[in-house]
Amino acid sequence: MTAGPTSATAPDPGLLEAARDGDEQAFSRLVEPRRGELQAHCYRMLGSVQDAEDALQDAMLRAWRGLSGLDDAKALRAWLYRIATNTCLDAIGRRPKRVLPIDYGPATDPHEGPGDPVVESVWIEPFPDERLAVEDGPLGPEARYEQREAVELAFIAALQLLPGSQRAVLILREVLGFSAKEVAATLDTTVASVNSALQRARRTIDDKVPVESQQTTLRQLGDEQVRELVDAYVEAWDRGDVDAVVSMLAEEATFSMPPNAEYYRGRDAIRDFLPRGPLSIPRRFVRTRANGQLAFGTYKLIDGAWVANAIHVITLSATREITDAVAFLDPSLFGRFGLPPTPPE
């Protein structure tokens, strides 16, 4: 199994030989250039930062133990992807799929307020851009998606709706650019089965993912317009200005806060909810990036002290409206994003 174009240099055959002789340092040097892209792959498969880290660690252990099965250093990348993919498929079989609230149930009546959080780990997690280790553009002629658009929240959420085998086929074929024959070898199936799974997966993805990716939208808007929009959004939240926040939303925008299952759809519903929810107490927004999208670390004022609250990711339209906002209410994510426990002065 070979791989499409990639920026990493070919591995040193001497490292492979040393690793096969039991040199753990040589093995580490052999696989380290691939670790970032493999983690992005595991994240696409599993929709969770923690699950991706666990799967990658398990895959690296399997690779170390199975080095006798790798004879050619040039085949290393494809061999690692095969191990990582099957490790993720094993993980998918052991746990419920991860989703966003908009795929979990109907929109919430804004007069009811949020209920209890869903304790079970069913929610997609955001991924810090600086750890994605993906390139701009597609990996090769077989790929249908750009590397960065293939980590956007809508794409990750749509992937999680697919059965594990379809998920693997679509990622390997249309994100990573492997051929149908190569994918069939990875999944121990036939080319016909791969092509059939890809067609079924495409129907689901095309139905769930916006026609225009966030990468396309951000490029069309340009840095200056994006910067103005981000500044206005941050200032509106800092002021606690409900009308200003709502004025930046699309008519059918959604607002969700996993692990709360509830979400709100439409300007009126969000306008009614915000003063009773997140804008009932002071908030501070600090800029970051997640999933190739605009994002913020948010803090709330509790008993006179600022505390970490959420990773807040927004999706834009070409008309500069916010179509979706997801506030991941998990302060433990702040360390992964390099954000401090309290906002800077």
Res 131: pLDDT? 76
d(CA 345, CA 343): 6
Mind listing the pLDDT tens digit for each residue in 104-129? 777 786 666 555 555 566 899 999 98
Question: Phi and psi dihedrals of 255, rounded to 5?
Answer: -140, 120
Res 14: pLDDT? 86
Q: Across the chain, where does the E strand assignment appear?
A: 249-256, 263-265, 283-290, 293-302, 305-316, 322-328
d(CA 279, CA 300): 9
Cα–Cα distances in angstroms (integers) from residue 168 to residues 51, 72, 92, 172, in the given order: 16, 24, 11, 6
d(CA 248, CA 267): 9
d(CA 35, CA 304): 42
> Number of helices and strands (H, E) in the chain?
11, 6
Q: Which of helix, strand or coil describes residue 165?
A: helix
Mind listing the pLDDT tens digit for each residue in 17-56? 999 999 999 999 999 999 999 999 999 999 999 999 999 9
- Residue whose tokens read 């004879």: 71
Tell me, what amino acid is at 73? A
Distance of CA 141 to the CA centre of its chain: 23
Residue-wise over 286-309: b if at least 16 C-beta within 10 A, else e? bebbbbbbbbbbbbbeeeeebebb
Using 50 as the pLDDT threshold, list the residues of the chain that sit under it: 1-7
Tell me, what amino acid is at 264? Y
Res 2: pLDDT? 45
Res 196: pLDDT? 98
Domain 6-95 coded CATH 3.30.365.10:
no
**94 close to 164: Cβ distance less than 8 angstroms:** no
Give Dmax over CA atoms of the chain in angstroms. 66
Which residues have CB under 8 Å from 239's CB, separation 6+? none
Q: Which of helix, strand or coil describes residue 301?
A: strand
Architecture of domain 215-333: Roll (3.10)
For the chain, the structural domain boundaries read 6-95, 215-333
What is the reported pTM? Answer: 0.90
Res 133: pLDDT? 62
d(CA 324, CA 252): 9
Angle at 211 between CA 289 and CA 51, to 5 degrees: 45
